[in-house]
Amino acid sequence: METASFGSGLEGRVVEGQFPLLERLEGSGNSVSFLTLLQGSKEAVIQLISPDGAEADAYVAQWEFAKVLSHPHLTRVFEAGRCVINGSDLVYVVTERSHATLSKIVQKRALTADSVREMFRPVLKALSYLHQNGVVHGYINPTTILLADLEPVPGQVAELLDRSDLTAALEAAWGAVRRLNRYVEEQAPWALAKAGEDEAVARVLASLVEGLRVVAVLLHPWVPRSAAKILEALGAPDVAYAGAVPAGGTARTVQRLAPLFPKHDG
């Protein structure tokens, strides 16, 4: 008889009255992670661990320390603590959600030299920040490198606009467009669909929709009509700059959109 894996059947439970266990994402051994919600709306990831003995206090102490760290290229830790589920003492940590890791990309293709350079610049910046704060990251591998490149862009664009450097601000916003194009190439959703990986396809497309929404808000000062059409088609018409912060990909129905810049013969 097969033994149920750790975390099986927990969907629908609520941790500490705050964090619903929605979709199981991954798990192994004594650890499992689920999609959850912050304040009822923002997607996040909650990881549950069944610790051995005194490990529980060490886990929570490390996560509590990580909560005070803040860097655009580090995964944010929102909450951590201990809980009891089905009579088992567990520890949990709630972090921001990322839809892509380096490990998933290198499984599909080799990286170009340019991609490696661009990818590891933010990694080195994050490591430098950690070292300045007396922290040594002792577990770096492709699964811990998260590609959340769009997150710092709104702040960069806002700072350049405040300095009236419109050209540099537009270039920074356009860099987000190029990053979305690379994301499509890296994730190859057509290949995922051909392989029957429907859940992976859904995650990639949801990330693209959210990235496109962010880009449309960023570009609205330069191409207001086209940006408004994009946002309308995405079902998210708000052009307020505060909405340019990536909020995690969520499934939504997208309307068909006519070409924004149609070609004219003649």
Q: Which residues, 6+ apart, have CB-to-CB distance to 5 below 8 Å?
A: 27, 32
C-alpha distances in angstroms, 51 versus 35, 87, 145, 251? 21, 14, 24, 34
Provide the 10 A C-beta neighbour count for residue 264: 5
The 10s digit of each residue's pLDDT in 167-193 is 989 998 888 888 888 778 777 788 878
Higher-scoring residue by pLDDT: 28, 151: 28
Burial class of residue 218, CB neighbours in 10 A (0-12, 13-18, 19+): buried
Q: Do domains 14-96 and 102-244 have the same CATH topology?
A: no
> Is residue 133 pLDDT above 90, yes or no?
no
Run of H or E residues at 34? strand 31-38
User: Nearest CA to 255 among 232, 237, 239?
Assistant: 232
Give me the pLDDT at residue 90, please: 92
Q: Which of 50-54, 160-164, 169-173 has the lowest average pLDDT?
A: 50-54
Q: In the chain, where are the structural domains located?
A: 14-96, 102-244
As a whole number of angstroms, the distance between CA 98 and CA 103 comes to 13
Q: Which of 68-77, 179-188, 255-264 has the lowest average pLDDT?
A: 255-264
Q: Which option is the CATH number for 102-244: 1.10.730.10, 3.40.190.290, 3.40.50.2300, 3.65.10.10?
A: 1.10.730.10
Token duo for residue 209: 């929709």
Run of H or E residues at 130? helix 113-132
CATH number, span 14-96: 3.30.200.20
Backbone phi, then psi, for 79, in 5-degree steps? -155, 155
Token duo for residue 216: 């449309």
As a whole number of angstroms, the distance between CA 211 and CA 207 comes to 6
Higher-scoring residue by pLDDT: 206, 137: 206
